[in-house]
Amino acid sequence: MYVEAITKTESSYKVAIAVDGVSFSYRKGGTPVIDIPHWQLNKGEHVFLSGPSGSGKSTFLNLLSGTLTPDSGSISLLEKPFSSLSNKQRDRFRANHIGVVFQQFNLIPYLSVKQNIEAAMYFAGNPIKSKKVDERIVMLIEQLALSPQVLHVKADALSVGQQQRIAIARALINSPDVLIVDEPTSALDAKARDSFMAILKSVAKDSALVFVSHDPYMMKYFSNHLKMRNFTPPNNAASETESLKMLEGGL
């Protein structure tokens, strides 16, 4: 593992994410935005999630991270159903086991890079003030091809590429079992996208990774593709979400 695991207790699970019979709509009784009979992602697997605008990608990510609750069905992470956890337990579980890199990175602008990373540790209930922790943060920063000097820079003084890497560092600092990365490469040129992906795939190699993008160029990095479609009621009772298991190297 790239950094020492901190508070891990769920080491024996095989299925990182399981979605069963999940339906969700924003309006009670409205057309579901999400309707998925079954989908799962195993430990360490990486999936490319795509679909047209409005097809429900962000909604799906919010369901996976437990910030939205399905109208029906169940979502389990590390073989633990969200419904078995209280709100407080779910928040702690999310902080410890799920890392999220948001489209806009969501760094706290007036804090330094180090403080941004420490905040993620704090919310997961992990100790932050120790030499060991400092060493771990430096190691992660170096793995992301950044100089440790960047740790003392305020987040709002970073370039877009730096913000992106810091957002990844923050998402990875608690050694998450599940990493969700939402549209991270839209601001980058092709060369920068390649170098970003090489780094991401390497640092996230032990996590289940859900990578959301509109960019077909990024598909080549994934052998597993989940494609969301717009819901078309009323006759199509079949799943509107199609999981395409692509052959390794076949893209």
193 binds ligand ATP (CB under 6 A): no
The torsion angles phi and psi of 247, rounded to 5 degrees, stand at: -70, 140
**Least distance (Å) from ligand ATP to the CB of residue 118?**
30
* Residue 163 sits in the site that holds ligand ATP (CB under 6 A): no
Distance between CA 32 and CA 230 in Å, rounded? 10
Q: Is 32 in the site for ligand ATP (CB under 6 A)?
A: no
Residues 11-30 that bind ligand ATP (CB under 6 A): 26
99 contributes a contact to ligand ATP by CB under 6 A: no
Binding residues for ligand ATP, how many (CB under 6 A)? 10
Return the number of the residue (33 or 209) whose C-beta is nearest ligand ATP.
33
Binder among 46, 57, 114, 136 for ligand ATP (CB under 6 A): 57
Rounded Cα distance between 251 and 247, Å, is 8
Contact between 70 and ligand ATP by CB under 6 A: the answer reads no
d(CA 186, CA 200): 15
Closest separation between CB of residue 47 and ligand ATP, Å? 15
- CB neighbour list of residue 50: distance below 8 Å, 6 or more residues apart: 57, 212, 213, 214, 216, 219, 225, 226, 227, 228
Q: What is the DSSP pairing of strand 241-245 with strand 224-228? A: antiparallel
Q: Strand order of the sheet with strand 46-50?
A: 98-101, 178-182, 208-212, 46-50, 224-228, 241-245
55 binds ligand ATP, rule: CB under 6 A? yes
Residue 243 binds ligand ATP, judged by CB under 6 A: no
Q: Which stretch binds ligand ATP (CB under 6 A): 47-55, 92-100, 151-159, 168-176?
A: 47-55
Joined tokens for residue 85: 């956890």
Is 33 a binding residue for ligand ATP by CB under 6 A? The answer is yes
CB of 59 to ligand ATP, least distance (A): 3
Compute how many other C-beta atoms are within 10 angstroms of the C-beta atom of residue 157. Answer: 12
Which residues contribute to the site for ligand ATP (CB under 6 A)? 26, 33, 51, 53-59
